[in-house]
A and B are shown apart, each in its own frame.
Chain A
Amino acid sequence: MSERIDENELWMLSLYRRSEISGAMFFGKLANVLKPGPIQFDMTRHFADESRHAWQWTECIVRLGAKPLPFDWAYQDRYLKAVGVPANIMEILAITHVFERRVFNHYTAHRQLPLVRPEVKETLMRIMDDEKWHLAWVGRALKDMEVQFGSDAVTKTLRRCSEADKDIYRQLVNEHAERMAAFTQALSNRSQEMLQ
């Protein structure tokens, strides 16, 4: 096991865990009301992946000798507030695509930080493999929906969600700037200690 986990790193991993739980609940509810077909099939797998990711973060935190911190909010909660309640499956998938891209980019940036603990790196790698598939299936489904909704409508919805996502991410970083800076600093300190 690595050395004791820093408070800010625990906060970050617990937030990942909470977001995966929220994702699982979201896709679980949708998979429950969708008619049988390719979207129900893929969304049910997506739901299973998100549940497993929540478990993988829980396991990772425990392996690091800590306990997950409780959260009463998740990153994606802010999406529905910002873009409004999606009115149809195309809008749901557009929000999902933008969110999954954000998750993938954020996990990639985390993985590339210096001296990420092996337990965390391993969890990130395992989850990111699934995230690639999430982006692929949702992207493919959105492409197929251009026939029904029109390519302009799909493009416009994706653009609207992307704009909202940029604001939400900026807001999150601003709100938790101190904690995020401390988290990055803790990783940097660890690398300095290893050089001494």
Chain B
Amino acid sequence: MITPDVVKTEIARILGYEAAALESTTPLSDLVIDSLDLVELVLGLEEIFSIRLVEEDLGGVRTLAELTDLVLLRDRSYGERKLGATQ
């Protein structure tokens, strides 16, 4: 099941950090050295979670929490579970 913690763990793994060391408010620019790292991160998340992002998705993403939210939003099963829980 995809949860915010699972997404955070995968982000940390791809970028080579300890998940526990990452705060949700951490700006992505503090985690990636260059745009090459960011490409690797985006593609890695798409492959792991079988999601597809579009160009507009990345425009407003600044922090770890925002990227996590985006992955969860694009993961349909998570969206359906969340919807089910609120009904």
Q: Report yes or no: B39 in contact with A88, Cβ–Cβ below 8 A.
A: no
B18-61: which residues lie under 8 A (CB-CB) from chain A? 34-40, 42-44, 46-48, 52-55, 57-58
Closest to A91 in B: B55
Chain A 36-76 interface 0/1 with B at a Cβ cutoff of 8 Å (1 = within): 00000000000000000000000000000000000000000
Q: How many residues from B make CB contacts under 8 Å with A?
A: 20
Closest to B55 in A: A87
Give the complex CA separation of A81 and B47 in angstroms: 24
Give the complex CA separation of A69 and B53 in angstroms: 39
Stretch at the interface among A11-19, A25-33, A114-122: A25-33
Count A-B contacts at CB 8 Å.
Answer: 53
Q: Report yes or no: A87 in contact with B47, Cβ–Cβ below 8 A.
A: no
Q: Report yes or no: B40 in contact with A32, Cβ–Cβ below 8 A.
A: yes
Q: How far, in Å, is A4 (CB) from chain B's closest CB? A: 36
Name the contact of B38 in the complex, choosing from A25, A85, A88 (C-beta under 8 A).
A85
Query: Given the complex, which residues of A lie within 8 Å of B52, measured CB to CB?
Result: 88
Q: How far, in Å, is B40 (CB) from chain A's closest CB? A: 4
Quick one: given A81-B35, A85-B35, A88-B53, are A29 and B58 in contact (CB under 8 Å)?
no
Q: How far, in Å, is B20 (CB) from chain A's closest CB? A: 22
Q: Report yes or no: A88 in contact with B54, Cβ–Cβ below 8 A.
A: yes
Give the complex CA separation of A26 and B38 in angstroms: 11
Main secondary structure of the interface of B (DSSP, over half): helix
Query: Given the complex, which residues of B lie within 8 Å of A33, measured CB to CB?
Result: 14, 40, 43-44, 47-48
Quick one: given A87-B55, A88-B54, are A26 and B47 in contact (CB under 8 Å)?
no
Quick one: given A33-B47, A35-B47, A89-B46, are A84 and B55 in contact (CB under 8 Å)?
yes
Q: How far, in Å, is B14 (CB) from chain A's closest CB? A: 6
Q: Report yes or no: A85 in contact with B42, Cβ–Cβ below 8 A.
A: yes
Give the complex CA separation of A109 and B46 in angstroms: 38
Interface of B with A (CB < 8 Å)?
Answer: 14, 34-40, 42-44, 46-48, 52-55, 57-58
The 7 closest A-B pairs by CB, nearest first: A33-B44, A80-B35, A29-B40, A87-B53, A87-B55, A85-B38, A35-B47
